[in-house]
Every structure is written in structure tokens, then in C-alpha cells.
Amino acid sequence: MKKPYLETMPDEKGYFGEYGGSFLPPPLEKPFQKIRKAYDELSRSSDFLDELRYIRKHFQGRPTPISFAKNLSRYCAGANIYLKREDLNHMGAHKLNHTMAEALLAKKLGIKKLIAETGAGQHGVALATAAAYFGLECEIHMGEVDIQKERPNVIRMQILGAKVVPATHGLKTLKEAVDSAFEAYMSDPDQQLFCIGSVVGPHPYPKMIRDFQSIVGFEAKQQFKQIAKVDLPDMVTACIGGGSNAMGIFSGFIDDDVKLYGVEPMGKGENIGEHSASLSYGTAGVMHGFNSIMLKDKDGEPAPVHSIGSGIDYPSVGPEHAYLHKIGRTKIGLCSDDEAIDAFYKLSKLEGIIPALESAHAVAFAMRYAKQNKGENILINLSGRGDKDIDFVVTNYPPQILS
């Protein structure tokens, strides 16, 4: 019998085919070795898994349900659309699935301080939540420009007890926040855990974060049978930033005859700086400690990117997505800013569910797909709720009905 995919990938060096691996400055080799070893042991320890199960059930509110989007299905006049409701997680997105587990790992390692960078602040808030739960210190690095732009998330982090450190050099956005957080981490790698926010970074993070998110796919597979009265969906889709929510739901269906579509943000157009469709327009390269497909500028540095979904404007993609796409197991869907806005309003009005703008990308793609694939059963991973986006949307794309 063939071994399940999840048990065979990545290899022991963290490679998914040619992608992944670990490209670290020498002083970080040792601390990362320690993390790899600890995770390897803990992932097989029933103590660790029991504690995680407890947290998911009694703090996060798992399992999250699957909802049948009957009005949206009727509107698309084609396929049946189902939603895996990660928006119903505590704090409103899938991110707690991995930040709670990372904080638990820190606790098991006897580490008292969590450190990370954040772009729009979503990862920072999710990590600050986990730190508060476990009584750990939390330091979040954020570009000064982003701090001005994303004030509500800055305040949330501070209320949750995290220290927000501004990155004041260069363009003062995500790239500088990564540098700043890495520098702070390097100063004392034994007493701090660097908590990466997606299936990216050096080994073991892409595997570890996928494993933590795989609960989404495992639940969905069981639930789908019950609600849809068929064994499997025909197609499963999710938006891709770094790719953690997509890997989460794909994990449940990767060995099955199910089409898997990751949706990339086309933003405002095809030129560099207008989108963040890394797999569609990128080339091979090493960035942030791993080998993958990435968008580069003419000097080979990470290119400027854009999406209205502030959690999916990342110039690379998790190495596992690069691999699965290369071997043809997954396909890419595309969605522009305007299509995401349309899906944001449609899902809200038709189903009473306000999606995060990131998640709206997957909804928009599924709507297009549904019209072209009559009779199919589609499962969307609704990665988060849209409360955080309401101000932005009504200011920049006012709905006619509210005027």
C-alpha cells in the first residue's frame, strides 16, 4: 500500500522535491536544530497532542462547522458550494490553529518569550493571543508605516499584552519588520522562539505549520460526508498568501481524487508591484531562509507586491505549494481586487457571512468555477471573517445600497 502523502513529505532535510530546505546564518544552525528535534519528538507525544486537542476544543471553539451556501449556490446556478468556517475560530481566522501550537511548543521547550514580525498585524494579534493564554512574553516587530495604517491591530496586540516594536529603517514595512525581528531573535536565540506565521521559512516551519493546520482538512473530510451526502467534494479551494490555510484544508484531500485550487491575488494588474501571484509569475530562488518560487525585482530582491487582502500580499509562497503545483497535484485560480470586493458583498448579502478580503478571493474564484462546472460539489476554506476589513471596504468601495 502507498504511504499517505503527509507521511512522506517533506524529507528529513525539509525538502518538498527541490523546494524548501533551510538556509540559515551559521549562528542560527544550532537553535533551529533544537527546534527540529523538539518538534520531531513532540509531534509524536500524546501529551502534546492531547493538550492541543483540549485548547482547540475549549479555547478556539473547534471543530468549526461546514455550512452549505444554498443562496450563493443558487445565484451561481451551477455547482453546490460549501464553506469550511474557519472564520468561526476564536479571533476570527485560521491563524490560531498554528500560533496556539507554536506557543505550546515554546512552553514545552521552557522558552518564555515569543517573537515575530507582522505585516498588517493579523499574525501579531494571533500570536499575542497565544502568548496571553500561556502567560508568555511576546514581542512583535512591525514597520512604522504599517503601524500607522493598521492601528486597530496594533491596539489589539497591546491590549493582549504584547510589545510592538517599530521597524524604522528603509521603507518601514514588512521586509524591514522581518529584518528587525530576525536581528532581535539572533541576539538571544535560546531564550526566544521565532514564530513564523505561515507554511514558509526554514525547515521545520513549513512542515510544522502544515501539520498544525491539517486539523482543518481532517475535520472537513468527516463533516463533508455528513452534510453533502457524498464521500468527497469534487473541488477544494483556498486563498494563498504564504499558504497555511490552503495547506490545512488540502491536507485532508491530498491522497484523494479531488481537484485542489490555490487562489492567488491578481490585485490591480499583471505588472510587478500590482499583484502578489507568486506561483503564477514568480521564478525559483531563496528568500527568508527557504527555496521556493518568488517574485523578484530586477536586482533579485523580493519584489514589491499588492493585494487588497493584506494577509496575502507576500512575494513568495510556501515550498510545499511550489512542489504540489510543479507536479500538477494542485492548480492555481486567480482573483483580482475588484472580484474579491464583489465576492465580499455577495457572500455577505446572500449568506449572512462577511468574509475576510483574503477569503473573498477563494469565494470569487469558486463562484466563477461553479458557473462553469454544473453539478459539482465545491468546498471553500473560508479562512477568516471580514470585520477587520469593513472600514476599508465601505470607504474605498461603498456599496450602492448604503448610499
Ligand X SMILES: *Cc1c(COP(=O)(O)O)cnc(C)c1O
Interface residues toward ligand X, by CB under 6 A: 93, 95, 122, 198, 239-245, 311-312, 356, 358-359, 383-384
The distance of closest approach from Cβ of residue 207 to ligand X in the complex, given in angstroms and rounded to an integer, is 14
**Beta-bridge partners for 265:** 335
Cβ atoms of 247 and 210 closer than 8 Å: yes
Q: What are phi and psi of 300, to 5 degrees?
A: 80, 5
The distance of closest approach from Cβ of residue 97 to ligand X in the complex, given in angstroms and rounded to an integer, is 10
The distance of closest approach from Cβ of residue 123 to ligand X in the complex, given in angstroms and rounded to an integer, is 6
Q: Smaller CB distance to ligand X: residue 64 or 80?
A: 64
SS (HEC) of 329-380: CEEEEEEEHHHHHHHHHHHHHHHCCCECHHHHHHHHHHHHHHHHCCCCEEEE
- Per the listing, cell 538571544 goes with 188
From 117, 150, 339, 351, the catalytic residue: 117
The distance of closest approach from Cβ of residue 262 to ligand X in the complex, given in angstroms and rounded to an integer, is 9
The distance of closest approach from Cβ of residue 231 to ligand X in the complex, given in angstroms and rounded to an integer, is 26
Instruction: Report the residue number whose CB is nearest to ligand X.
Output: 384
CA gap 207, 203 in Å, rounded: 7
Q: Smaller CB distance to ligand X: residue 66 or 317?
A: 317
Catalytic annotation present for 95: yes
The conformational region for residue 172 under phi > 0 = left, psi -120 to 50 = alpha, else beta, is: left
- Per the listing, cell 491522497 goes with 255
Catalytic annotation present for 339: no
CA gap 120, 154 in Å, rounded: 9
Q: Smaller CB distance to ligand X: residue 78 or 201?
A: 201
Distance of CA 147 to the CA centre of its chain: 21
From 214, 276, 383, 388, the catalytic residue: 383
The distance of closest approach from Cβ of residue 103 to ligand X in the complex, given in angstroms and rounded to an integer, is 17
Cβ atoms of 383 and 310 closer than 8 Å: no
CA gap 266, 19 in Å, rounded: 23
Cβ atoms of 155 and 121 closer than 8 Å: no
CA gap 314, 329 in Å, rounded: 22
Q: Smaller CB distance to ligand X: residue 92 or 189?
A: 92
From 22, 73, 86, 95, the catalytic residue: 95
- Alpha helices (runs of H) in 56-143, residue ranges in sequence order: 70-76, 96-109, 122-134
The distance of closest approach from Cβ of residue 198 to ligand X in the complex, given in angstroms and rounded to an integer, is 3
Q: Smaller CB distance to ligand X: residue 152 or 300?
A: 152
CA gap 344, 265 in Å, rounded: 14
Q: Smaller CB distance to ligand X: residue 201 or 384?
A: 384
Active-site residue numbers? Answer: 95, 117, 383
